[in-house]
Amino acid sequence: MSPLPLLAYAALFLASPALAQAPKLDVAAGDYVIDKTHVSVTWRIKHLGLSYYTARFTGFDSTVKLDPADLTRSSVIFTIDANSVRTDYPFPEKEDFDKVVASRFLKAESHPKIIFQSTSLTATSATTGKLTGNMSFAGVTKPVTFDVTLNGATVHPFYKVPYVGFSARGMIKRTDFGVGEMVGLLGDEVEIWIEAEYKKAS
């Protein structure tokens, strides 16, 4: 719901010896901001053991502080507006199902923000890694790990500033955050996908 932050992994990607001959993949140190025109945060949960109910968020913000020389100094914050959930419910004249999910299952009235802040990054290959951080959701903060893939890094052809694109996938358990209503009918595990691009802040 990408998920999926994680730009700090770009530095490890660029530092790989295998990429010594890829000069187009250039990411400078400093602050990066999410490009809200090229990002999606999607989640899914098992429904009645029959299928996966899928929805998304449309309100989010994120910043990254990137230090390619020392990845341990890099950090990322990703904030989601819990009230921005979109279910694409087919009968809006009967029920505002977005509001039902936000209030009943996300506790958005009392805790409108879902926040992830990274604490560590571990490489699993030249282009993938595991990003761990603290997620605050519904008034509870727990560690969460995302599997991340760096898809590419370049200077944007139109804006002429460094850009990085990535995919991220993670999973949380609703009961860990005190929002386990209807577990049994609905799954406890919620899968999160993030697709995003970040741009160098001016």
Helices (H), the chain: 9-15, 97-100
pLDDT bracket for residue 166 (50, 70, 90): confident
CA–CA separation, 33 and 30 (whole Å) = 10
Q: pLDDT for 93-139, tens place per residue?
A: 999 999 999 999 999 999 999 999 999 988 787 777 889 999 999 99
Give the integer Cα–Cα distance in Å for 76 and 64: 4
Distances (CA, A) of 50 to 28, 46, 174, 184: 46, 7, 19, 12
Chain length of the chain: 202
Residue 112 in contact with residue 138, Cβ under 8 Å?
Answer: no
Confidence (pLDDT) at 23: 28
Ordered structural domains, the chain, with CATH: 9-200 (2.40.128.110)
Residue 151: pLDDT band with limits 50, 70, 90 = confident
pLDDT on residue 2: 38
Query: What pLDDT is attached to residue 25?
Result: 39
Per-residue model confidence (pLDDT) at position 155: 85
Q: Is pLDDT above 90 for 90?
A: yes
pLDDT band at 52 (very low <50, low <70, confident <90, very high): very high
Percent of the chain residues past pLDDT 70, beyond the cut: 82
